[in-house]
Structure 1
Amino acid sequence: MKRLLRGTPDTLIAKAQNALLKWYEKYGRHELPWRNTDDVYHIYVSEIMLQQTQVKRVMEEYYPQFLQKFPTLKALGSAKEEEVLAAWSGLGYYSRARNLHATAKLCPTTLPKTQKELVRLPGIGRYTASAIQSFAYHQRVGVVDTNIARVIKRFFAHYKQSDDIIWKSAEEFVNPVYPTLHNQALMDLGSLVCLPTNPKCTECPLNLTCKGKEEAEFYTQKQKKVYEELELFYGIALKEGNIALIVSKGPMYKGLLELPAVDPVDEDYIAEFKHSYTKYRITVKIYRLHEPKSDVQWISLEDANNAHISSLTRKALRHLRG
């Protein structure tokens, strides 16, 4: 095995690897459904969903329903984009769904096994490719997400080191016998113990050999997220139990159905609510729309929630129903 740091014997690294796996056996999140399958498509779907969504929401609200509707790559690739977007509705970052759909069309039977081939597919970058290689194909590769990067930075005292150094150390640290379990364990360690603030060092299996434990706070970049305030105005037109929706051409919800935009008129004001989207904090105001344009689609209120509507529109409809 390679030596990760000058003066760090291979025996210490092996002990750290073993301690990590013992910890994972006892405390790891073994209940996650994507950890109990070798189906590359199922693992791929989970990785894309988890990029911007909490584990609990993915596991309980989206992952099983999505796979029930599209159980295979072929089924997903054969579906219409509107069906895929409807199944994704509420998860946000809809380019993820479009990339999933595009990849399924390119790879209707299975996904490739090499990083070089994987990163050529829509929406698959270095992390997702390595996750597929490790978790689906059990290859000995390093995997670096936000949680693992934090563990690697602290464990090897990689203060202000480049991403390439972090990836190289993660690659060299991988357990040669149990690479998949090793990467899953690192992920859980970063999520449950090696926290961004107030890390639980006394509970960490890597505590004895951690190079940065005395200054753990230095190994996580803290950047205050800056949000941009927006104010949007939408109109609601109802006719015989149907609501007028339009296909969005904007950058946020392109291709999804949403309420038509309107110029605000005080006497038509209905209500307002707050909504968040990536870097935006949005105040949404809804108004009565008396004469919708000819290009609207009339969708029954009963069917609207199952259509490919934006999360903002879904929230507006809930608000409308009270």
Structure 2
Amino acid sequence: MLYVRLVEEAIAARYAEQEMRCPVHLSIGQEAAAVGVCHALSEGDRVFSTHRSHAHYLAMNGDLDAMIAEMHGKTTGCIGGRGGSMHLQAPERGLIASVPIVGGSIPLATGTALSDSLDGNRRVSVAFFGDATLEEGVFHESANFAVLRSLPVLFVCENNLYSVYTPLKERQPARPLADVAHGHGLSAETVDGNDAEAVLAAAGRAVERARAGTGPTLLVLDTYRWREHCGPNFDNHLGYRTEAEYLAWREKCPLERSRARLFDRGLLSAEAEQSMIADLTARIEAAFDAARAAPLPDPATAALHVYA
């Protein structure tokens, strides 16, 4: 979680330099959701991310140099500089694709889960998505199919309460999001998405069910993004959410909660933490230096990998 936070804060600090020309959707404040779920997975499992992909990519141990280079549009990026922040992928690590279309991750994970079910290899697929995706037909179609076939797939809803600037209460009825699963006979669990240990435990239960062939699970992870929907800034002045709400969620910072637990248990010291921060900061600085030094793609290759 510290790694994800430091990387994204570095992106935010450098974004105004205009070297990263792609849009960025930051997960600052939501780190426990990505880290907790991905830590419950094993080698060979597959993850499909969203437009807010950095945390999932890093939690799956995607290469940092390739990520930062991709955001700079360089040839050394994870897809050659063609996709930017919203299309990160590290298939060798299990992060198969990041899909900016709302709900686009869901049928992909359902499809790989079907493949794994037919092959009998006990792999698990994960679709990350936001709360607005529960309003998309593709969720209901995929959930229905996954339950009927007992597919090994996790539907992970990172519920940060907003779809861009529109709050949940203006988009959906006043009922728990997990209730959406009941009509499909889909197992569901709501979790404090800012508690890394709670997320890990719930994800572990869902993964175990999937591997055992007893079907898919919807995990609703309640969390909150601190910064604007798209971009490096804070946007409370726009009025779609209150400063009081934002500050209340800041008090639930997933890093601070885990940090306090580790200190209380004697598993982390101030010296060790500072050493971690120094090591990660140096690693991040090196990734930005490498990205700036890397070449831009040859314009003659622009027509490659384009299908009509």
- What TM-score do the two structures reach when normalised by structure 2? 0.25
Work out which structure has the larger RCO, using CA pairs closer than 8 Å and 6 or more positions apart in sequence. 2
**Larger Cα Rg: Structure 1 or Structure 2?**
1
- What TM-score do the two structures reach when normalised by structure 1? 0.25
